[in-house]
Structure 1
């Protein structure tokens, strides 16, 4: 296997920390329960392009496409972001694919063996004018092989979580208890206790009627990506 997806992402992130988005005064990169991946230069998403989710193999498509269908339907119905589920294409985990593609592939422990069972998604860094061009999602191969015990609810929420990373949403965790450290699960929650699906290490609904759906916080984050593009006259 080539260098790990986690190492490539870390190197890109280190480089991108010095990036200043254009028209910074006209955009918003965080709000209650949502945050954009501005540290990688992504501050908006196209309101006119369709982001197509593609897969490394037919077997991966058959396994993961149903996991995100509910979220795709919800996003297309309730935001001006357009997402479509596509087919199979050749992928390189060390390089972004065509513009407007969210490529889903499998790697064993893409965050490294110190984080077994974790997956990783990220947008293509430093896109022109800050408009997300799509990204890469590395789902952990141990889910499909059965080596990692993951519930259907957790699998579905995780699949959506990683795809939304590739669009341009980041973890909205913050220091709730004010101990100086931003910790796992430190996220705002609804009155029913539901954290944003983008909460790290995992959020979203746990009841089957809503699993895989975005909370209002996540929807607000996607709407911010579109609003930022429009505020700058970007397509």
Structure 2
């Protein structure tokens, strides 16, 4: 997974540099307050008509993670024109994107490397046609389910949603808030209640049980931007 992500990202950056069109630049928005699209991987839009189905590596993985993202799926379907569904189990290869419009959830131990224990990773399939997200891969850290890594329930739930949204086409919205010349962990805009976007790196979202696993308004705006960009290009 680590090698694939690095190679895919480099290929996507090269492809974007070669294919960016001035006409598209005038109609596509890739960042805003509290949200950012995965445009460095060539993803600038999402289909308003297709359903993105979240599938799983095994019954055990589905049983563990489907409930973690259910609240977000319901919220997204009710609040945006992005359509998500929780699917079943299918064969997966962490080195290859799966069927179109599938977000595949699998487990790997420390997918970001042993220097980042307890981290997970998600990414969209890079450089899709006309920038439209065709789904992606989520590598949840196997140490969560095994119990090797002690993770709070609210962090686990927000992390699962965070990684699925990466695969759909959202990136980290961190910025240099303190103007010290570097963009740091948790350096994100926040609501008046102090809640940072669920896409904030390394993790954000709500910590109260009533809202844990839900997207903030910033994250919703990012998904809406994916749909707006698709419609601006005539993509359905």
TM range (shorter): over 0.9
Partner of 2:124: 123
- Count of residues paired in the alignment: 231
Partner of 1:7: 3
Structure 1 residue 32 corresponds to structure 2 residue 33: yes
Supply the distance in 2 between the matched residues of 1:7 and 1:146 (Cα, whole angstroms).
26
Q: CA deviation at 1:56?
A: 0.3
Partner of 2:89: 88
After TM superposition, where is structure 1 displaced by more than 2 Å over at least 4 residues in a row? Answer: none
Supply the distance in 2 between the matched residues of 1:79 and 1:218 (Cα, whole angstroms).
11
In structure 2, the gaps of 5 or more residues are none
The DSSP-based 3-state class of the residue aligned with 1:17 is helix
Partner of 1:63: 64
Q: CA deviation at 1:218?
A: 0.1
The DSSP-based 3-state class of the residue aligned with 2:123 is strand
Supply the distance in 1 between the matched residues of 2:214 and 2:204 (Cα, whole angstroms).
11
Supply the distance in 2 between the matched residues of 1:200 and 1:10 (Cα, whole angstroms).
18
Q: CA deviation at 1:24?
A: 2.3
Supply the distance in 1 between the matched residues of 2:229 and 2:71 (Cα, whole angstroms).
25
Q: Residue by residue, what CA displacement relative to the aligned partner does 1:1-49 show, whole Å, maximum 9, x if unpaired?
A: xxxx122111211222231445222100000000000000000000000
Partner of 1:191: 192
Q: Residue by residue, what CA displacement relative to the aligned partner does 1:51-75 show, whole Å, maximum 9, x if unpaired?
A: 0000000000000000000000000
Partner of 2:110: 109
Supply the distance in 2 between the matched residues of 1:210 and 1:155 (Cα, whole angstroms).
14
Structure 1 residue 17 corresponds to structure 2 residue 18: no
Supply the distance in 2 between the matched residues of 1:57 and 1:120 (Cα, whole angstroms).
18
Q: Residue by residue, what CA displacement relative to the aligned partner does 1:177-217 show, whole Å, maximum 9, x if unpaired?
A: 11111000000000000000000001000000000000000
Supply the distance in 2 between the matched residues of 1:185 and 1:17 (Cα, whole angstroms).
25
Supply the distance in 2 between the matched residues of 1:206 and 1:30 (Cα, whole angstroms).
25
The DSSP-based 3-state class of the residue aligned with 1:196 is coil
Q: CA deviation at 1:81?
A: 0.3
Supply the distance in 2 between the matched residues of 1:195 and 1:116 (Cα, whole angstroms).
23
Supply the distance in 2 between the matched residues of 1:131 and 1:14 (Cα, whole angstroms).
18
Supply the distance in 2 between the matched residues of 1:83 and 1:212 (Cα, whole angstroms).
15
TM-score (norm 1): 0.97
The DSSP-based 3-state class of the residue aligned with 1:223 is helix
Supply the distance in 1 between the matched residues of 2:175 and 2:156 (Cα, whole angstroms).
24
Partner of 1:49: 50
Partner of 2:214: 213
Supply the distance in 2 between the matched residues of 1:147 and 1:202 (Cα, whole angstroms).
19
